[in-house]
Every structure is written in C-alpha cells, then in structure tokens.
Chain A
Amino acid sequence: MSAPDRRPASRLARACAEFWRRYRKNRSGLVGLALVCGFLLLAVLAGAIATSAPLDTKTGAPFEPPGPIHYFGTDDLGRDVFSGVVYGARVSLAVGFLAALTSTIIGIIIGAVAGYFGGWVDDLLMRVTEMFMVIPVFVLALLLVALFGPSVSNVIVVISILSWPGTARLVRADFLSLKNREFVEAARSLSAGHLDIIFAEILPNALAPVIITASLRVATAILIEAGLSFLGFGDPNTISWGLMLYWAQNFIRHAPWMAIFPGLAISLTTLAFNLMGDGLNDALNPRLKER
C-alpha cells in the first residue's frame, strides 16, 4: 500500500504488466483467452463472416449436408447452419457478459454492505443470500422466463438476479478481514466516508476472487441461456445456439449436423471462459503467488 509512485496511471500499468507476466505462464489460460477473443471477433464481425442472413430460408435446399457452399449444412427450412452459428455467438456472448457483469455488481454491493457494516445488516443479507443459494437457479429461471416472456433481456435479468450469491459471499468474507486493517483505519482517521472506504479502499483489495468468479459465471450464464433456448424458452426471434439445438431436436437422425455444430460452439465458448477462469485463478490467487 505504501507504493512510492503515486501516479495512478503508471501504477495501474505496472500492475497490468505484472498480471500479464503471471497469466502468460499458464498455457490453458492463454488458450482460453485466445478462444474468447476469437468468439468475440465472430460476434462483432458476424455480418462479414456469415455467408447469409441467419434466418434466411432460401439459401439452399433443406437438409443439405455440410459442403463447400454450406460449410455446416442447412436445416429443415433451408437455413444455413454456419451463418446461424456465427450470428448465434452474439446472443451467447451478450447474455454471458451482461449477466455475469450485473450479477457481479449485485454480489459486490450486497457482500460489501454485509461485510462492512456487520451486525444485523450482515445477518439479514446473509440469510437472503443463503436462500438464493438454495434456490435451483435453472428451475426458477425457466419458470420466470415462461411467466414473464422469453426475450433476451428477460433471460439476462433472470440469470443476473439468480446468480449473485457466490460473489456476495466472497466479497463479504474479504471485507470482514480487511475492514479493520491499518490502511482502512488510516482512511477513516482522514474522515473518509463509508462509500469512499468501501469502494476506493477495501474493494480494490477484494477484487481478485471476484474477477475469477465473474469469468466462470460467464460460462454458467451461457449454459443457462442455451438450456432455456433448447427447451423452447429462449427468445424465438433471435438466432442463438440453444434455439438451433431446439430446432434440431426432431432431426437428430436425419440431419445430425444441425445439432453438432451449435453444440460444439456452446461447448467451446464455455470451455474458453472456464479455462480463462483457471488462468486468472493462477495469476491472481495470492496464495499461489510465491510459486
């Protein structure tokens, strides 16, 4: 904490360089990062990469097997599976990132308030957290999306509301152990406000496990979205990998490519974020730093 260099920009730059030095060592972490970047590019450049519009039914005959024109074949309505997979990256990544981000923010706020203030606030918030840990996330998500309507935004909101408890518990534990340390006392004696202490002093020191969890949460959110869409409770108007698998269900024997490629895309994306989480864990976990 008593870094001589006070300029925040260069401190941040050095921290980043140090982080990258550690992260670089982890081969699977690098593979994960590369895959994530690849899928991000796919989502952003979907219009340029796809060979046709994802919902265009006139790209070819139905049930054409994979070949030079339709790389991944066509489905029962003559839609190009490759283009569907390319455009599908948008929904999966959007849901994954936004749900992970929102649930992490909720988790940080609840965990920070509980850990920092303690007492009955902590008791109350932890009871609520325990309750959300018990609730079967996928079951309730399914129920809520069915009741409130299956749209991409509803799916994001539902996953966010249901998956913050892990983060909250991590943040709370860190706040409990950090709030009485000297640097916090110092800030307090300089009459810093609660908000200042929580966000500027303690939170930066509690972020490492939060970031790791957030990376893993992207993977979980993508899996939940795919599962909902697969059951027919995703957004029916936006192409997604889960929706493509929902369409494929009745043609598994007839046109296996309809199921193989979207499923591979889901698996690779979630694997990428899980690998990245492992890499982040090795790079950020203070207990392993000495190695």
Chain B
Amino acid sequence: MSLPYYILRRALQAVPLLVGVVVINFLIIHLAPGDPVLVIAGEYGTTPEYLAAMRAKMGLDKPLSVQLLIYLKTTFMGDLGHSFVWNQSVLRIILEFVPATFLLMGSSLVLSVLIGVPLGVWASRKPYSLMDNTITTVSLAGYSIPVFWLGIMSILLFSVRLKWLPTQGMASIASGYTGSAYALDVARHLVLPATVLALAQLALITRLTRASLLEVMSLDFITTAWSKGLGENWVIFRHGLRNALLPIVTIIGLQVGYLFGGAILTETVFAWPGMGRLMLRALSTRDYPLIMGMFIVITVMIVLVNLLTDILYAVLDPRVRVTKK
C-alpha cells in the first residue's frame, strides 16, 4: 500500500469517529435533565423570542432523527453555537484559550519524552538490576500521584518555602514586560505546571521505552549487530532504540486525551489561563453551549493527533502499511 493511499484511508476512517462524537454530544444534550433548548442556549440571558427561534433552528418540532441531522450539519459547518455568558461565538472563545493550553501540554510532553526515553533506556540495560527496579518503582509512584496534589505540594515547596518560582497565572500582572523579558516571565511561570503535568506522562514513557526496548533487543537483527562487533551504544541507539520508539509514538497519540484531563486539573491548581479553566468557568456558570463546544473541539483535536501519529508511524515504519489494518 502506498503512503498517500494509506494516509487517505486513515483520514477517511476518522470521519465516522467524528460523526460519532457529535452524535454522543447530541445524545447528552437530549438525555440531560431539562429542556434541550435551555441546555443548548444556557440558562442565562435568553429571551422567549430567542428560545422560540432556537427551537425552530434545532427543529425541535420535528422527529429526533431529523434533529440529529440538523445538529450534525450545523456542527460540521463550524457553528458551535453562541455563549450568552460571554455574548460571543463559542468557537471564538475556545480558540482564544487554546494557545495557553497548547503551550502547557506541549512543553510537558516534550519534557516527558526528553527525560522518559533516556530513563527507559537506562533501566533496560540491566533488567531487574537495582537501577532498573529503582527507575521502574519510582516511575510507578509518579504515575500514582494525582497531578493536582503534586501541583499543590510543589507550590508549597518551591514557592511558599523556597520562594523560587511563581505559582499563579501565566505572566506577572502589570509588569509591563515585552519581548524577551515577557517570554522569560512566561517561562518562569511555566516551569512548575509543565513539570507537574509531565510527571505522569514521564512515568508511562519510561516504562514503555524500557519494555519496548527489552523486546526489540531480543530480536535476531540485534544479535546480528552484536556479532558484527558493533559497540554497545551503537547497537542500543542506532539499532534498538530506533525500533523501540515506534510504539511510543502511538502511545503519545492515545495519551493526548488523558493529557487534557491532567491539563484541566493542573490549570486549576496553577490558575493557568487555558481551556481547563475555561471549562470550569463554563461548568460553574452552566454555560452549556460552551461546555458542549469544548468537548467537540477537544475530541476533534485528539482525533487529529491520533491521525498524525498514525501517519508518522507509517512513515517511520513501512511494515505498518501492509500489516496493520
């Protein structure tokens, strides 16, 4: 199977997935207690005229199946509705908060790969040795600590006790920083939340790298590499790790959804002005159109990231295109 064809097929497979997500959203709106119009319009700032107009637009007098089709159509046209709390289009509000969350998630992901992969390699060198057991157990502990509690504890230690780092927000308020001073300020604010959010991912990546590398290192081509008299580093990194990293790519794709959950919690602890905080604000004001819109946007992002990792995998490993369905 050629690469473009594979990419096209994967992209087409993502379409029913997206439809399914929108259908779930539709079902939630209709299963939620109360009038769906109120659910979709929000409880505040609505007038009877608007509600009547919304009823007509959603086709509430028509059968459920027609309503679903209408909902699918408006959603896929990019119309996620209007938030009365903000008096703005839902999509525009969300896009405003996306960059902060991306900065947080992206840097924590980079951090976890940069630290997790070397740790995994180190652990796999001598399986079941003291070093391996230590790394494996510590990473399991990292995986078990709730991210929000870790955040609180890091605030206690690094800013209350040691006063090293800022803990709230994304930039110093009223500092008037511009250019590189501003970037540095944001970076200082980013250190704690990004590190905290990275830890759970780091644990997973460490364990996976270790397991995957152990498996690859027992394959025949590695034995061949050893028998050619190649050095240890060369065999591990050039032959072993290159192949062992492939499953990691997939896992990162699958973990993005999990990362979003962690981001919501981390943003709450550190008052980071991203989508997590937006979502909590939407929930507390019962701003349903915004809540539903955010769910769709987040899921679409996850689908896209999964698509990208699948394609990346296929580019890196041609075998996938043939064997993996």
Q: A residues near B, CB below 8 A?
A: 28, 127-128, 130-131, 133-140, 142-144, 146-149, 219, 223-224, 226-227, 230-233, 245, 248-249, 252-253, 256, 259-260, 263, 266-267, 270-271, 274-275, 278
Contacts and interface: CB of A to CB of B under 8 A. Distances in A.
A230 B299 contact: no
A154 B214 CA distance: 42
Given A135-B24, A231-B280, A223 B146 contact: yes
A219 B144 contact: yes
Interface centre among A146, A219, A259, A270, by most chain B C-beta atoms within 10 angstroms, is: A146
A252 B16 contact: no
Contacts of A127: 16-17, 20
Given A139-B298, A146-B291, A223-B146, A231 B268 contact: yes
B160 A253 contact: yes
Given A131-B20, A134-B299, A263 B152 contact: yes
A137 B258 contact: yes
Interface string B275-292: 000011001100000010
Given A134-B17, A136-B257, A245-B149, 11 more contacts: A134-B299, A134-B306, A135-B257, A138-B261, A139-B295, A219-B144, A224-B261, A266-B149, A267-B146, A271-B141, A274-B140
Interface in B98-139: 137
Contacts of B160: 252-253
Contacts of A275: 140
B164 to A, nearest CB: 15
Interface in B139-160: 140-141, 143-149, 152-153, 155-156, 160
Nearest to A277: B140
A267 B148 CA distance: 11
Contact of B33 (A135, A148, A248): A148
B152 A245 contact: yes
A110 to B, nearest CB: 15
Given A136-B299, A245-B152, A256-B156, A266 B260 contact: no
B94 interface: no
Contact of B28 (A143, A219, A226, A270): A143
B264 A139 contact: yes
Given A133-B254, A134-B303, A142-B264, A267 B144 contact: yes
Given A131-B20, A136-B258, A143 B295 contact: yes
Contacts of A128: 20
Contacts of B20: 127-128, 131
A198 B260 CA distance: 37
A274 B138 CA distance: 12
A230 B265 contact: yes
A203 to B, nearest CB: 25
A260 B153 contact: yes
A136 B261 contact: yes
A127 B148 CA distance: 33
Interface residues of B, number: 45
Given A146-B283, A147-B32, A227 B258 contact: no
A45 B57 CA distance: 57
Contacts of A252: 152, 155-156, 160
Interface of B: 16-17, 20-21, 24, 28, 32-33, 39, 137, 140-141, 143-149, 152-153, 155-156, 160, 254, 257-258, 260-262, 264-265, 268, 279-280, 283-284, 291, 294-295, 298-299, 302-303, 306
21 contacts: A134-B302, A135-B257, A137-B261, A138-B264, A139-B260, A139-B295, A140-B295, A142-B279, A143-B291, A146-B283, A147-B32, A227-B146, A227-B147, A230-B268, A231-B264, A245-B148, A252-B160, A259-B152, A259-B153, A263-B146, A278-B140
The 5 A-B residue pairs whose C-beta atoms are closest, nearest first, are A138-B261, A263-B149, A136-B257, A271-B144, A270-B144
Nearest to B167: A252
Contacts of B295: 139-140, 143
Nearest to B207: A278
A128 B17 CA distance: 8
Contacts of B306: 134
B303 to A, nearest CB: 6
Contact of A134 (B21, B147, B152, B261): B21
B238 to A, nearest CB: 27
A224 B261 CA distance: 9
B156 A274 contact: no
Contact of B265 (A134, A219, A231): A231
A278 B132 CA distance: 14
A275 B264 CA distance: 27
Contacts of B156: 252-253, 256, 259
Contacts of A219: 144
B90 to A, nearest CB: 14
Contacts of A224: 261
B309 to A, nearest CB: 12
B32 A148 contact: yes
Contacts of A230: 146, 148, 265, 268
A136 B33 contact: no
Interface centre among B258, B265, B303, by most chain A C-beta atoms within 10 angstroms, is: B265
